[in-house]
A and B are shown apart, each in its own frame.
Chain A
Amino acid sequence: MPDLGKYAVEVGAAYGLSAVLIVGLVAVTLWRGKRVKRALDAAEGRRNA
Protein backbone atom coordinates (compact mmCIF):
# COMPACT_ATOMS: atom_id res chain seq x y z
CA MET A 1 0.00 0.00 0.00
CA PRO A 2 1.50 3.37 -0.99
CA ASP A 3 1.88 6.02 1.69
CA LEU A 4 -0.91 8.48 0.88
CA GLY A 5 0.20 10.90 3.59
CA LYS A 6 -2.23 13.54 4.81
CA TYR A 7 -4.60 13.00 1.86
CA ALA A 8 -5.29 9.31 2.57
CA VAL A 9 -8.94 9.99 3.45
CA GLU A 10 -9.60 11.97 0.25
CA VAL A 11 -7.89 9.48 -2.06
CA GLY A 12 -9.57 6.52 -0.30
CA ALA A 13 -12.97 8.23 -0.50
CA ALA A 14 -12.56 8.98 -4.22
CA TYR A 15 -11.63 5.38 -5.04
CA GLY A 16 -14.25 3.89 -2.66
CA LEU A 17 -17.17 6.01 -3.90
CA SER A 18 -16.20 5.48 -7.56
CA ALA A 19 -16.00 1.71 -7.00
CA VAL A 20 -19.45 1.69 -5.39
CA LEU A 21 -20.96 3.65 -8.31
CA ILE A 22 -19.28 1.65 -11.11
CA VAL A 23 -19.75 -1.79 -9.53
CA GLY A 24 -23.37 -0.83 -8.78
CA LEU A 25 -23.93 0.13 -12.43
CA VAL A 26 -22.42 -3.14 -13.69
CA ALA A 27 -24.47 -5.16 -11.16
CA VAL A 28 -27.75 -3.44 -12.11
CA THR A 29 -26.95 -3.94 -15.83
CA LEU A 30 -26.32 -7.68 -15.36
CA TRP A 31 -29.30 -8.16 -13.00
CA ARG A 32 -31.80 -6.43 -15.29
CA GLY A 33 -30.36 -8.20 -18.35
CA LYS A 34 -30.91 -11.61 -16.76
CA ARG A 35 -34.38 -10.71 -15.45
CA VAL A 36 -35.61 -9.47 -18.87
CA LYS A 37 -34.07 -12.46 -20.70
CA ARG A 38 -35.79 -14.89 -18.29
CA ALA A 39 -39.14 -13.14 -18.73
CA LEU A 40 -38.77 -13.08 -22.54
CA ASP A 41 -37.84 -16.78 -22.66
CA ALA A 42 -40.93 -17.58 -20.58
CA ALA A 43 -43.19 -15.43 -22.81
CA GLU A 44 -41.82 -17.04 -25.99
CA GLY A 45 -42.24 -20.46 -24.41
CA ARG A 46 -45.93 -19.72 -23.71
CA ARG A 47 -46.37 -18.45 -27.27
CA ASN A 48 -44.82 -21.56 -28.82
CA ALA A 49 -46.66 -23.97 -26.50
Chain B
Amino acid sequence: MQTEMSLWSYANPTRFMATTRPLLPWLSALAAACLVVGLVWGFFFTPDDYRQGSTVKIIYLHVPSALMAINAWFMMLVASLIWLIRRHHVSALAAKAAAPVGVTMTLVALVTGAVWGSPMWGTWWAWDPRLTSFLILFLFYLGYMALWAAIEDPDTAADLTSVLCLVGSVFAVLSRYAVNFWNQGLHQGASLSLDKEENVADVFYIPLLVCIAGFVLLFVALVLARTRTEIRARRLHALQLRERMA
Protein backbone atom coordinates (compact mmCIF):
# COMPACT_ATOMS: atom_id res chain seq x y z
CA MET B 1 0.00 0.00 0.00
CA GLN B 2 1.34 3.41 -0.91
CA THR B 3 1.46 5.85 2.00
CA GLU B 4 0.72 9.49 1.30
CA MET B 5 3.30 11.98 2.60
CA SER B 6 2.02 15.20 4.08
CA LEU B 7 3.48 18.12 6.00
CA TRP B 8 1.92 16.73 9.17
CA SER B 9 4.05 13.60 8.98
CA TYR B 10 6.98 15.77 10.18
CA ALA B 11 5.08 16.33 13.41
CA ASN B 12 6.18 12.79 14.27
CA PRO B 13 9.32 13.29 16.44
CA THR B 14 11.11 10.26 14.95
CA ARG B 15 10.53 11.49 11.40
CA PHE B 16 11.51 15.04 12.38
CA MET B 17 14.80 13.81 13.88
CA ALA B 18 15.56 11.63 10.84
CA THR B 19 14.80 14.44 8.36
CA THR B 20 16.67 17.24 10.14
CA ARG B 21 19.81 15.26 10.93
CA PRO B 22 21.30 15.33 7.40
CA LEU B 23 19.91 18.85 6.76
CA LEU B 24 21.57 20.59 9.70
CA PRO B 25 25.24 20.50 8.60
CA TRP B 26 24.32 21.90 5.16
CA LEU B 27 22.11 24.61 6.60
CA SER B 28 24.77 25.58 9.15
CA ALA B 29 27.51 25.73 6.51
CA LEU B 30 25.31 27.81 4.19
CA ALA B 31 24.40 30.18 7.04
CA ALA B 32 28.06 30.62 7.98
CA ALA B 33 29.04 31.20 4.33
CA CYS B 34 26.32 33.82 3.78
CA LEU B 35 27.15 35.61 7.04
CA VAL B 36 30.90 35.70 6.32
CA VAL B 37 30.43 36.85 2.70
CA GLY B 38 27.72 39.42 3.57
CA LEU B 39 29.47 40.90 6.59
CA VAL B 40 32.96 40.99 5.03
CA TRP B 41 31.49 42.53 1.85
CA GLY B 42 29.52 45.09 3.82
CA PHE B 43 32.26 45.94 6.31
CA PHE B 44 35.29 46.04 4.02
CA PHE B 45 34.05 46.67 0.50
CA THR B 46 31.21 49.20 0.70
CA PRO B 47 31.73 52.97 0.91
CA ASP B 48 30.68 55.24 3.76
CA ASP B 49 27.33 56.96 3.44
CA TYR B 50 27.51 60.69 2.70
CA ARG B 51 25.34 61.49 5.76
CA GLN B 52 25.90 58.58 8.15
CA GLY B 53 29.61 58.08 7.51
CA SER B 54 30.92 54.64 8.50
CA THR B 55 27.95 54.01 10.84
CA VAL B 56 26.07 52.80 7.74
CA LYS B 57 28.01 49.53 8.19
CA ILE B 58 25.82 48.81 11.24
CA ILE B 59 22.92 48.26 8.81
CA TYR B 60 24.30 44.78 7.98
CA LEU B 61 23.62 43.68 11.56
CA HIS B 62 20.70 45.87 12.53
CA VAL B 63 18.30 45.26 9.63
CA PRO B 64 18.67 41.44 9.45
CA SER B 65 18.46 41.03 13.24
CA ALA B 66 15.38 43.29 13.47
CA LEU B 67 13.76 41.36 10.62
CA MET B 68 14.42 38.04 12.36
CA ALA B 69 13.30 39.37 15.76
CA ILE B 70 9.82 40.00 14.32
CA ASN B 71 9.65 36.96 12.04
CA ALA B 72 10.83 34.60 14.79
CA TRP B 73 7.77 35.66 16.77
CA PHE B 74 5.54 35.00 13.75
CA MET B 75 7.11 31.56 13.34
CA MET B 76 6.37 30.94 17.04
CA LEU B 77 2.80 32.14 16.45
CA VAL B 78 2.26 29.66 13.59
CA ALA B 79 3.81 26.82 15.65
CA SER B 80 1.67 27.78 18.66
CA LEU B 81 -1.51 27.80 16.57
CA ILE B 82 -0.63 24.34 15.21
CA TRP B 83 -0.19 23.16 18.80
CA LEU B 84 -3.49 24.69 19.94
CA ILE B 85 -5.46 23.33 16.98
CA ARG B 86 -3.78 20.01 16.14
CA ARG B 87 -1.87 19.18 19.36
CA HIS B 88 1.39 18.30 17.60
CA HIS B 89 4.14 18.23 20.24
CA VAL B 90 6.95 19.01 17.79
CA SER B 91 5.32 22.33 16.89
CA ALA B 92 5.07 23.35 20.56
CA LEU B 93 8.71 22.39 21.08
CA ALA B 94 9.74 24.29 17.92
CA ALA B 95 8.06 27.44 19.29
CA LYS B 96 9.88 26.95 22.60
CA ALA B 97 13.17 26.39 20.73
CA ALA B 98 12.76 29.58 18.67
CA ALA B 99 12.27 31.94 21.64
CA PRO B 100 15.94 32.20 22.77
CA VAL B 101 16.96 32.78 19.14
CA GLY B 102 14.29 35.46 18.77
CA VAL B 103 15.23 37.21 22.00
CA THR B 104 18.89 37.30 20.95
CA MET B 105 17.95 38.78 17.57
CA THR B 106 15.80 41.39 19.34
CA LEU B 107 18.69 42.25 21.67
CA VAL B 108 21.12 42.56 18.73
CA ALA B 109 18.63 44.88 16.98
CA LEU B 110 18.14 47.00 20.11
CA VAL B 111 21.88 47.21 20.89
CA THR B 112 22.99 48.00 17.33
CA GLY B 113 20.14 50.52 16.99
CA ALA B 114 21.20 52.27 20.20
CA VAL B 115 24.87 52.33 19.19
CA TRP B 116 23.91 53.76 15.78
CA GLY B 117 21.42 56.22 17.30
CA SER B 118 23.93 57.75 19.67
CA PRO B 119 25.93 59.65 17.00
CA MET B 120 23.08 59.93 14.43
CA TRP B 121 20.15 60.98 16.63
CA GLY B 122 22.21 62.31 19.51
CA THR B 123 20.63 59.81 21.91
CA TRP B 124 20.94 56.10 22.71
CA TRP B 125 17.21 55.74 23.22
CA ALA B 126 13.97 57.55 22.43
CA TRP B 127 10.38 56.54 23.22
CA ASP B 128 9.71 56.33 19.51
CA PRO B 129 6.82 54.01 18.42
CA ARG B 130 9.08 51.47 16.72
CA LEU B 131 11.71 51.43 19.46
CA THR B 132 9.11 51.16 22.20
CA SER B 133 7.19 48.34 20.48
CA PHE B 134 10.51 46.53 19.97
CA LEU B 135 11.33 46.87 23.66
CA ILE B 136 7.90 45.46 24.55
CA LEU B 137 8.48 42.58 22.10
CA PHE B 138 11.79 41.90 23.89
CA LEU B 139 9.94 41.78 27.23
CA PHE B 140 7.35 39.42 25.71
CA TYR B 141 10.15 37.08 24.64
CA LEU B 142 11.51 37.08 28.21
CA GLY B 143 8.02 36.48 29.61
CA TYR B 144 7.41 33.65 27.13
CA MET B 145 10.64 31.88 28.14
CA ALA B 146 9.98 32.44 31.84
CA LEU B 147 6.50 30.92 31.48
CA TRP B 148 7.91 27.78 29.81
CA ALA B 149 10.43 27.48 32.66
CA ALA B 150 7.86 28.08 35.40
CA ILE B 151 5.34 25.35 34.52
CA GLU B 152 6.27 21.73 35.11
CA ASP B 153 3.59 20.02 33.02
CA PRO B 154 4.77 20.40 29.39
CA ASP B 155 1.27 20.37 27.83
CA THR B 156 0.01 23.07 30.21
CA ALA B 157 3.17 25.09 29.53
CA ALA B 158 2.62 24.73 25.78
CA ASP B 159 -1.03 25.84 26.14
CA LEU B 160 -0.28 28.93 28.24
CA THR B 161 2.78 30.01 26.25
CA SER B 162 0.76 29.65 23.03
CA VAL B 163 -1.85 32.05 24.39
CA LEU B 164 0.92 34.46 25.46
CA CYS B 165 2.35 34.18 21.94
CA LEU B 166 -1.02 35.16 20.45
CA VAL B 167 -1.17 38.25 22.69
CA GLY B 168 2.45 39.18 21.97
CA SER B 169 1.79 39.05 18.25
CA VAL B 170 0.13 42.46 18.54
CA PHE B 171 3.53 43.92 19.45
CA ALA B 172 5.30 41.96 16.74
CA VAL B 173 2.90 43.55 14.23
CA LEU B 174 3.38 46.96 15.85
CA SER B 175 7.18 46.53 15.69
CA ARG B 176 6.91 45.87 11.97
CA TYR B 177 4.40 48.55 11.06
CA ALA B 178 4.86 51.20 13.79
CA VAL B 179 6.62 53.47 11.31
CA ASN B 180 3.61 53.26 8.97
CA PHE B 181 0.97 53.56 11.71
CA TRP B 182 2.45 56.65 13.34
CA ASN B 183 4.22 59.06 11.08
CA GLN B 184 6.25 60.44 13.96
CA GLY B 185 9.26 59.50 16.06
CA LEU B 186 12.92 59.25 15.18
CA HIS B 187 13.05 55.89 13.43
CA GLN B 188 13.16 56.14 9.65
CA GLY B 189 11.07 54.05 7.26
CA ALA B 190 11.87 50.52 6.10
CA SER B 191 15.37 50.01 4.69
CA LEU B 192 14.06 47.37 2.32
CA SER B 193 10.95 48.34 0.44
CA LEU B 194 9.20 47.69 -2.84
CA ASP B 195 9.26 51.45 -3.27
CA LYS B 196 12.65 52.15 -4.89
CA GLU B 197 12.70 55.67 -3.49
CA GLU B 198 12.62 54.33 0.08
CA ASN B 199 15.18 51.59 -0.44
CA VAL B 200 18.81 51.75 0.65
CA ALA B 201 21.24 52.68 -2.14
CA ASP B 202 22.19 49.90 -4.58
CA VAL B 203 25.77 49.70 -3.32
CA PHE B 204 24.54 48.62 0.14
CA TYR B 205 21.60 46.56 -1.12
CA ILE B 206 23.19 43.29 -2.30
CA PRO B 207 25.50 42.74 0.71
CA LEU B 208 22.48 43.53 2.90
CA LEU B 209 20.44 40.86 1.10
CA VAL B 210 23.28 38.35 1.61
CA CYS B 211 23.39 39.21 5.33
CA ILE B 212 19.60 38.78 5.58
CA ALA B 213 19.89 35.36 3.90
CA GLY B 214 22.62 34.49 6.42
CA PHE B 215 20.48 35.52 9.39
CA VAL B 216 17.45 33.60 8.05
CA LEU B 217 19.55 30.44 7.53
CA LEU B 218 21.19 30.86 10.95
CA PHE B 219 17.74 31.16 12.52
CA VAL B 220 16.46 28.02 10.76
CA ALA B 221 19.59 26.03 11.66
CA LEU B 222 19.45 27.12 15.30
CA VAL B 223 15.73 26.42 15.63
CA LEU B 224 16.12 22.95 14.11
CA ALA B 225 19.09 22.16 16.37
CA ARG B 226 17.28 23.45 19.46
CA THR B 227 14.05 21.61 18.55
CA ARG B 228 16.06 18.38 18.28
CA THR B 229 17.43 19.07 21.76
CA GLU B 230 13.94 19.78 23.13
CA ILE B 231 12.66 16.48 21.68
CA ARG B 232 15.56 14.64 23.30
CA ALA B 233 15.01 16.49 26.59
CA ARG B 234 11.33 15.47 26.56
CA ARG B 235 12.29 11.82 25.98
CA LEU B 236 14.95 12.04 28.71
CA HIS B 237 12.41 13.47 31.16
CA ALA B 238 10.00 10.59 30.39
CA LEU B 239 12.74 7.98 30.92
CA GLN B 240 13.83 9.59 34.19
CA LEU B 241 10.23 9.56 35.44
CA ARG B 242 9.96 5.86 34.56
CA GLU B 243 13.25 5.14 36.39
CA ARG B 244 11.99 6.92 39.50
CA MET B 245 8.70 5.02 39.47
CA ALA B 246 10.34 1.61 38.91
Q: Do A and B bind each other?
A: yes
Q: Which residues of A contact B (CB under 8 A)?
A: 1-8, 10-11, 13-15, 17-18, 21-22, 24-26, 28-30, 32-33, 36-37, 39-40, 43-44, 46-47
* Bound: A44/B61 CA distance, A: 42
Closest partner residue, chain A, to B97 (CB atom): A29
Contact B232 A8, beta carbon cutoff 8 Å? no
Judged by a CB distance under 8 angstroms, whether B235 is at the interface is yes
Query: Could you say which residues of chain B place their CB within 8 Å of the CB of A11?
Result: 54-55, 57-58
Query: Could you say which residues of chain A place their CB within 8 Å of the CB of B218?
Result: 22
Contact A29 B104, beta carbon cutoff 8 Å? no
Min distance, Cβ A19 to any Cβ of chain B, angstroms: 9
* Bound: A36/B118 CA distance, A: 42
Contact A15 B43, beta carbon cutoff 8 Å? yes
* Bound: A2/B39 CA distance, A: 13
Query: Could you say which residues of chain A place their CB within 8 Å of the CB of B104?
Result: 21-22, 24-25
Interface majority SS (helix, strand, loop, mixed), chain B: helix
Contact A22 B108, beta carbon cutoff 8 Å? yes
Contact A7 B226, beta carbon cutoff 8 Å? no
Judged by a CB distance under 8 angstroms, whether B48 is at the interface is yes
Query: Could you say which residues of chain A place their CB within 8 Å of the CB of B140?
Result: none
A-B contact count (CB 8 A): 94
Judged by a CB distance under 8 angstroms, whether B50 is at the interface is no
Contact B48 A5, beta carbon cutoff 8 Å? yes
Q: Which residues of B contact A (CB under 8 A)?
A: 43-44, 48, 53-55, 57-58, 61-62, 65, 100-101, 104, 107-108, 111-112, 115-116, 118-119, 218, 222, 225-226, 228-229, 232-233, 235-236, 239-240, 242-243
Closest partner residue, chain B, to A17 (CB atom): B111
Contact B54 A4, beta carbon cutoff 8 Å? yes
Contact B222 A10, beta carbon cutoff 8 Å? no
Contact A7 B53, beta carbon cutoff 8 Å? yes
Contact A10 B115, beta carbon cutoff 8 Å? yes
Query: Could you say which residues of chain B place their CB within 8 Å of the CB of A21?
Result: 104, 107-108, 111
Contact B232 A40, beta carbon cutoff 8 Å? yes
Selected from A1, A5, A44, the residue in CB contact (under 8 A) with B53 is A5
* Bound: A3/B119 CA distance, A: 17
Min distance, Cβ B223 to any Cβ of chain A, angstroms: 10
Contact B115 A46, beta carbon cutoff 8 Å? no
Closest partner residue, chain A, to B226 (CB atom): A29
Closest partner residue, chain A, to B239 (CB atom): A43
- 28 A-B pairs with CB atoms under 8 Å apart are A2-B43, A2-B44, A5-B48, A7-B53, A10-B115, A11-B54, A14-B57, A14-B111, A14-B116, A15-B43, A15-B57, A17-B108, A18-B111, A22-B104, A22-B108, A28-B100, A29-B222, A29-B225, A32-B226, A33-B228, A36-B232, A36-B236, A37-B229, A37-B232, A40-B232, A40-B233, A40-B239, A43-B240
